[in-house]
Amino acid sequence: DAGVTQSPTHLIKTRGQQVTLRCSPISGHKSVSWYQQVLGQGPQFIFQYYEKEERGRGNFPDRFSARQFPNYSSELNVNALLLGDSALYLCASSRTVANYGYTFGSGTRLTVV
Partner 1 sequence: SQELEQSPQSLIVQEGKNLTINCTSSKTLYGLYWYKQKYGEGLIFLMMLQKGGEEKSHEKITAKLDEKKQQSSLHITASQPSHAGIYLCGADNHGAGSYQLTFGKGTKLSVIP
List residues binding partner 1 (CB under 8 A). Answer: 4, 33, 35, 40-45, 48, 55-58, 88, 90, 92, 97-100, 102-107, 109
How far apart (Å, rounded) are the C-alpha atoms in residues 3 and 30? 14
> From the CB of 16, what's the least distance to partner 1, in Å?
25
Q: How far apart are CA 44 and CA 67, in angstroms?
A: 18
The nearest distance, CB 75 to partner 1, in angstroms, is: 18
Q: Looking at beta carbons only, is 18 or 111 nearer to partner 1?
A: 111
Confirm if 9 and 108 have CB atoms less than 8 A apart. yes
Residues 6+ apart with CB under 8 A from 71: none
CA distance 100 to 29: 12
| Smallest separation, CB 79 to partner 1 (Å) | 23
Nearer to partner 1, 11 or 88 (CB): 88
Shortest CB 20 distance to partner 1, Å: 19
